Structure 1
Amino acid sequence: MGRTRVIDRDLLLDAAEVVVARDGAAKLTLESVAAQAGVSKASVVYDHKTKQALIGALVTRALERDNAFNHAAAEQLGDVDARVVRGRIVAAADPLPPQQRAVALTLCAALAQDVSLRQAMQANQAAVIDALQRDAAEPRNALLAYLALEGLKLLESLDFHTFPTAERDRLLREIGGLVDGMPPAPAQASAKRRR
């Protein structure tokens, strides 16, 4: 008979996120997570045998949270064309808070170094892309909007660039226009030709 689970899975993952946001991935150890959670190292080892397993659990939870958040935003739109991608655009209205950015940056670094973690992300992205194209009357437009949206979010989550709020809001509206096949505003088109 196995040992009864006494530590909440989310407690350990919350503690791991705090450690990552505060100290970075290099300082993420089973010991540091145990200390942050106020539990024994054995309790962490019971659920996550290695640091990689712990990071894998963080990636899985991040994907689950992101998918649920985006799904809820899409559901609120009701029965509209391209609801999957439109829901993701609506959900992106609020950028990640600084602590979540730090966690996202660390998870991206972990994904770059671990093929099995990348496979989970690749499978998730393939499912999202498939869903948003099946959901849209114009699948290509939905895909282009999604690519633009993910580019914006990636710049932010990797802390490469942050747009001022008004510009970010405008970009999200314009990304929404891509779903409908709307061309960029004339000022933007002429600025593009000058380059």
Structure 2
Amino acid sequence: MVGRPRTIDREAVLDAAQAVAARDGAAYLTLEAVATEAGISKASVLYDYKNKQALMKAVIERRIAAEDARIQDIRKCLGEKPNAAILARLIAESRELSDDDRAVALSLCASVAGDAELREPVRAMMAQRVASVRDTSEDESGAMLAFLAIEGLKALEWLSLYEWPPAERSKLISEIRWLIDQKPEEIPCEEISEDS
């Protein structure tokens, strides 16, 4: 017996899930809400995503894959340039966030924080990015400081904790770029605790 051909597009389901998350928040990202948004039955959503957690994980993985692809395209343009990974991250962060990007990130954040399985794709992405910065950097110290700075800037923006005016944000990106070439002086822990 041959099954019925698949007519539901997985990307359309994930688009609907992202729309629900952006509009209503992750707490309201239910299989029913996604089905309604996509104009399909709940059974169609269940076919690919057995539960809310599986659906959320798929949304997270798709967003990570899209961002990674964008960064890889930038790296290809840079060629074999030293510090390619961190330079690509800086160029990628030069774009302004859309309200949709911010809304989805903010709504998924609480779910990711409270669920180790949902955190895993994010942890894997960060481990890969750290390794990439280390592998392509002429001096790991400055590059890692730049990486931490750009991730901090991004976190503040994605979580809607602070939004820099565009000119100030551009200046910050340039200053973070400056960090890449710095060679920080190592301060012994004893000196840090004595001055505290």
The normalised TM-score by structure 1 is 0.89
**Matched AA of 2:110:** A
| Mapped pair 1:140 → 2:134 | no
Partner in structure 2 of residue 186 of structure 1:
none
Deviations 1:134-188 (A, max 9, x none): 10111121111000000000000000000000100000001111111189xxxxx
What is the deviation of 1:95?
2.3
Partner in structure 2 of residue 88 of structure 1:
89
Q: d(CA) in 2 for partners of 1:70 and 1:105?
A: 21
Partner in structure 2 of residue 9 of structure 1:
10
8 Å CA contact retained: 2:139, 2:183: no
Q: d(CA) in 2 for partners of 1:142 and 1:170?
A: 18
Partner in structure 2 of residue 193 of structure 1:
none
Q: d(CA) in 2 for partners of 1:139 and 1:146?
A: 10
- Equivalent position SS for 2:164: coil
Partner in structure 1 of residue 71 of structure 2:
70
Partner in structure 2 of residue 27 of structure 1:
28
Q: d(CA) in 2 for partners of 1:182 and 1:156?
A: 28
Q: d(CA) in 1 for partners of 2:5 and 2:143?
A: 47
Name segments (4+ residues, structure 1) moved above 3 Å. 1-4
8 Å CA contact retained: 1:141, 1:181: yes
**Matched AA of 1:83:** A
Structure 1, unpaired ranges of 5+: 184-195
8 Å CA contact retained: 1:75, 1:87: no
Q: d(CA) in 1 for partners of 2:178 and 2:118?
A: 33
Partner in structure 2 of residue 58 of structure 1:
59
What is the deviation of 1:3?
5.3
What is the deviation of 1:65?
0.9
What is the deviation of 1:53?
0.7
Q: d(CA) in 2 for partners of 1:39 and 1:16?
A: 12
**Matched AA of 2:47:** Y
Structure 2, unpaired ranges of 5+: 185-196
Q: d(CA) in 2 for partners of 1:71 and 1:3?
A: 38
Partner in structure 1 of residue 49 of structure 2:
48
**Matched AA of 1:22:** R
Q: How many residues align?
A: 183
Q: d(CA) in 2 for partners of 1:5 and 1:137?
A: 50
Deviations 1:63-120 (A, max 9, x none): 1111111111222222311111101100111122001111011222111010111122
Partner in structure 2 of residue 106 of structure 1:
107
- Equivalent position SS for 1:7: coil
The normalised TM-score by structure 2 is 0.89
**Matched AA of 2:58:** A
Within 5 Å, give how 1:141-180 maps onto structure 2. 141-180=142-181
Q: d(CA) in 2 for partners of 1:152 and 1:171?
A: 9
Partner in structure 1 of residue 193 of structure 2:
none
8 Å CA contact retained: 1:19, 1:28: yes
